[in-house]
Amino acid sequence: MSKINVVVLFGGRSSEHSISCATAAGVLGAIDRERYNVIPVGITQQGVFVPAVDDAKHWALTSGELPVVEFEGKTVVWPFDGSRELVVADETGERYILGSIDVVFPVLHGPFGEDGTVQGFLELVGVPYVGNGIFASAAGMDKEFTKALLLQAEVPATPHVVIRRSQWVNDPEMSIARARQLGGLPVFVKPARAGSSVGVSKVKNWDDFAEAISVALEHDSKVVVEHGLVGRELECAVLSSFDDAPTRVSVAGEIIMHGREFYDFEAKYRDNSAELVIPADLSPEQLALMQHIARRAFAAIDGQGLARVDFFLTKDGFFVNEINTMPGFTPISMYPKLWQASGLAYPELIDELISLALEGAK
């Protein structure tokens, strides 16, 4: 039986470039080499497609510098002629075939990767790819429209307001007044289209609100301000099923913070201030309800493939905070750990996602 040629696509132009590299490291290290020929392709921070080193350790997060995809004189040329053959061209004009594509595994996070742009590109190329399509990727990336779709589907979502740059510049007092109506402090100020907690601030004093808006606007032209709910922070993993069977949902995991205000970039990737408890201590009824809401949330954005659904459990029940359509995918990330606790090992999870992509292309 011939091997399946899988392009692992990572890096990208977003502020989550290095996190994407770390996710690629996890996939490169765990994918079954007996079943797959792996073709690593990186995207530089300037948006150039380049052949990448097939070495998980090279792309892993360490205590030193963050991994970065660099241009080293060679570019990857994608086929638009139906051939599916990837070509490498160097600065002298010489070209050689890198491989033929059966499926692409895009492990890109943030804008220009997780937001439908690369998904649209791959649709134009005409190759199957792992994960969500154009609409779900775009909707899941944009917190404003994620929440709008959730509320339209009667899925409970965190109370919030959206502030655009023009609104803040022209009438900051009105923007502050709208934020105050959410129900008091604290509030979380977030770029509408960023991930990994980049540009996110927890505001406990209104005197700090303007600075938090300024930080968020460095990453986006609009900001989502969320009321800080008091409750437990829980997550579950969603995975499509074959043959139109019901969407699968994992056990729940809980994030417990030690020494930090919230689950920020450093807590997620650089230190040990976040404790991940899997499975979370929930009653069977609570878990069943959480899984039901996760399925509804996934359906609300027309999801396919995979997602992680993030919740708050308060005295008033569950509230969906975010849907991540390409969650962190390193072996120690919440998404694969949740599936491992649910009986699906990391290499098997990769197999499932690739098989789903190929089934969807039939």
Q: What is the CATH number of the domain that holds 118?
A: 3.40.50.20
Amino acid code (one letter) for 135 = F
Domain termination site, one of 185, 205, 227: 227
Our count of domains for the chain comes to 3
Residues 12 and 118 in one domain: yes
Asked if residue 281 and residue 245 are part of one domain, the reply reads yes
What is the rounded distance in angstroms from the CA atom of residue 40 to the CA atom of residue 237?
26
Query: Does 59 map to a domain?
Result: yes
What local confidence, expressed as pLDDT, does residue 1 receive? Answer: 66
CATH number of the domain within which 166 lies: 3.30.1490.20
82 with 168, same domain: the answer is: no
Q: Which two tokens stand for residue 323?
A: 């849907």
Q: What are phi and psi of 95, to 5 degrees?
A: -135, 150
The answer on 269 and 207 residing in a single domain is no
Domain that holds residue 279: 139-157+230-360
Q: What is the pLDDT of residue 261?
A: 56
Helices within the chain (DSSP H only)? 17-30, 56-59, 117-125, 134-141, 143-152, 165-170, 172-180, 209-217, 265-269, 284-300, 334-341, 346-360
Whether 209 maps to a domain, the answer reads yes
102 & 144 share domain: no
- Asked whether the beta carbons of 198 and 217 are under 8 A apart, the reply is no
- Whether the CB-CB separation of 19 and 109 falls below 8 Å is answered with yes
356 and 237 share a domain? yes
Residue 321 CB partners (closer than 8 Å, separation 6+): 157, 158, 226, 233, 310, 311, 312
- What secondary structure letter does DSSP report for 157? B
Answering whether pTM is above 0.75, one says: yes
Q: Is the same domain home to 149 and 187?
A: no
126's CB contacts (< 8 A; 6+ apart) are 82, 84
pLDDT, position 264: 47
Q: What is the CATH number of the domain that holds 253?
A: 3.30.470.20
Of the candidates 294, 290, 318, the residue with the CA atom closest to the CA atom of residue 306: 294
Domain limit, last residue, from 173, 203, 227: 227
Domain boundary among 227, 242, 277: 227
Q: How many CA atoms lie within 13 A of 168 on its CB side?
A: 21
Shared domain check, 276 and 149: yes
- Is the same domain home to 193 and 264? no
Task: Report if residue 94 sits inside a domain.
Answer: yes
Query: Do the domain assignments include residue 43?
Result: yes
Does 27 fall in a domain? yes
pLDDT of residue 328: 87
The verdict on residue 134 lying in a domain is no
| Residue 78 and residue 170 share a domain | no
The pLDDT profile of the chain, 362 residues, written as one tens digit per residue, is: 689 999 999 999 998 899 999 999 999 999 999 999 999 999 999 999 999 999 999 999 877 788 999 999 999 999 999 899 999 999 888 999 999 999 999 999 988 999 999 999 999 999 999 999 999 999 999 999 999 999 999 999 999 999 999 999 999 999 999 999 998 899 999 999 876 577 899 999 999 999 999 999 999 999 999 999 999 999 999 999 998 899 999 999 999 987 655 554 554 545 566 789 999 999 999 999 999 999 999 999 999 999 999 999 999 999 999 999 999 888 888 999 999 999 999 999 999 999 999 998 66
Q: Are residues 353 and 271 in the same domain?
A: yes
Please provide residue 270's backbone torsions phi and psi, each rounded to the nearest 5 degrees: -120, -20
| 150 shares its domain with 285 | yes
